[in-house]
Amino acid sequence: MPSPFPGMDPWLESPAVFPDFHSAFLNAFRVALNAVLPPPFYAGLSTRVWMEESDRRVEPDVDVLLPANQPASAGAGLVVAADARTDLLEIVGPPLPSEEREERYIEIYASPGGDRLVTSVELLSPSNKTPGSGGRDLYRAKQQEMVHGRINLVEIDLLRRGTHATLVPVDLLRQRGGRFDYHVCLHRADKDQSYFVAPIPLPHRLPTIPVPLTPGVPAVSIDLQVVLDRCYDEALYARRVRYDRSCDPPLSDEQRVWAEDVLRAKGLVA
């Protein structure tokens, strides 16, 4: 069954659900792309990997280091070295815990001539929109690589939370975009200073977008709503999403009333 909402389902933005949705959406997008790409183009999934400081904290479990001429005390718990000249203690803690993180994206290649990359498609993740995260730093570097390498970049932002991260300057987007919750930003390789943007208010259906290829080859069209509905159905989110709980991130009062009406009409809340 499709999502109960006409456009983006805001409950899919939950930190407990979105990582899975990110993969499911990109898988469905790739299938839709390969169904309409003309020869010699094809779409594949790629993965970006980095190390990120973990939310988990590790308690120190080490010994006390003392000068050779001093007896060890009974209480051990930190690594401590005494500096005889300054009487300062050097406390050596455990290494910062870190975890390997990864996120997927789509790349479109032209197969003759060494599989030339022509277009990259990104569904933004929370890490892309979090200042100071390794995921955002890598994403910013990737954007510049695409622009300078004259490769088309399609960015889809279906997250209300976080700092602006697509290529279009945020002040221009706010001036021209009106009220919106999500958006798509398309940067064409042959239009260096142009950004083609689709602002998307929460109640609206997700748009059909052009995915550019090479000069002289028409762009292919992908219906984002069809992609979302397909991944919602195939991933069985109807069994997983708890519509009886508050949306995370929260909706505005106006949006909350609207969402409750939609869910009530579908029989999902009382």
Render pLDDT for 192-208 as a digit per residue (tens, 0 to 9): 889 999 999 999 999 99
**Averaged confidence pLDDT in the chain:** 87
CB 73 within 8 Å of CB 20: no
Q: Which tokens belong to 31?
A: 């299938």
pLDDT at residue number 93:
67
Q: Do residues 50 and 138 make contact, with C-beta atoms less than 8 angstroms apart?
A: yes
Mean pLDDT of all residues in 86-95: 73
Instruction: Please tell me the predicted confidence (pLDDT) of residue 114.
Output: 59
Which residue do the tokens 């943007």 mark? 197
Pairing of strands 116-123, 98-110: antiparallel
**Position 32 pLDDT exceeds 90:** yes
Whole-angstrom Cα distance, residue 83 to residue 89? 6
The single residue listed with the structure tokens 């999403």 is: 241
Does an H or E element contain 237, and which? helix 237-240
- Model pTM greater than 0.75? yes
d(CA 169, CA 176): 11
Mean pLDDT lowest among 38-42, 108-112, 187-191: 108-112
Predicted pLDDT of residue 67:
43
pLDDT at 140 (0 to 100):
96
Residue with structure tokens 């979090």? Answer: 130
Region of 132 (left: φ > 0; alpha: ψ -120 to 50; beta: rest) is left
SS3 at position 150: coil
Predicted confidence (pLDDT) at residue 27 exceeds the cutoff of 50 = yes
Quick one: which H or E segment has residue 31? helix 18-36
CA-to-CA distance for 139 and 79, rounded, in angstroms? Answer: 38
- pLDDT value of position 108: 96
Helix (H, G, I), strand (E, B) or coil at 262: helix
Q: Once rounded to an integer, what is the mean pLDDT over residues 31-40? A: 96
Coil, helix or strand at residue 175: helix
What is the band of 85 on the pLDDT scale with cuts at 50, 70, 90? Answer: low
Q: How far apart are the first and last CA of the chain?
A: 20
CA atoms within 13 A on the CB side of 9: 26
8 in Cβ contact with 228 (< 8 Å): yes
Interatomic CA distance for residues 120 and 186, integer angstroms: 10
In percent, the amount of the chain with pLDDT more than 70 equals 83
* Candidate from 63-72, 79-88, 137-146 with smallest mean pLDDT: 63-72
Question: How high is the pLDDT of residue 111?
Answer: 82
